[in-house]
Structure 1
């Protein structure tokens, strides 16, 4: 959360500028935005640390591991944030691709394809 306060563009953002603080944007997965490390590095380090710490229990005491990704433990695209009041059930979601890093990714893809980005 400290890194998000420093750089709110690392979370999903909709076209109105509403931010979803429950998720890190996929646009920064490989960028050093978490204290000099990328989100993928942090996730990998966490998993490796868990494996190393509990290696003597894996396969015997620990038979299964379930990893929840997201504020409610589910892996879903955060297109319908309820916490800020912008979405109510039932409703349609909204693209969360307007943070700085997603827009830079789109521009890079457009440039690579030879398409003029705006």
Structure 2
């Protein structure tokens, strides 16, 4: 099956924070919707599901990048899900805290400085 994801959604799927930051810095829309998911709901889903399946700690790099670039944590996707409700279902504290205005988003090492949430 052919990959029809946008470059930003592909970066989220691969948890490639560096490429995602570069795309957003070049003007990609942090609230882009593709195949029924915003970039932020996609990132939270990939990170949360990956942690559940692997038993490893939750990674937050792509979510942090998207929030730092202004992705809207309350923007509903076409199915009516918000990044915040998805984050709550996965216990994704960085997304929950940023949506609630509880602090700063720290970008992964080497990807820039903190940005207010």
Shorter-chain TM-score above 0.5: no
TM-score between the two structures when normalised by the length of structure 1: 0.29
Tell me the TM-score normalized by structure 2. Answer: 0.29
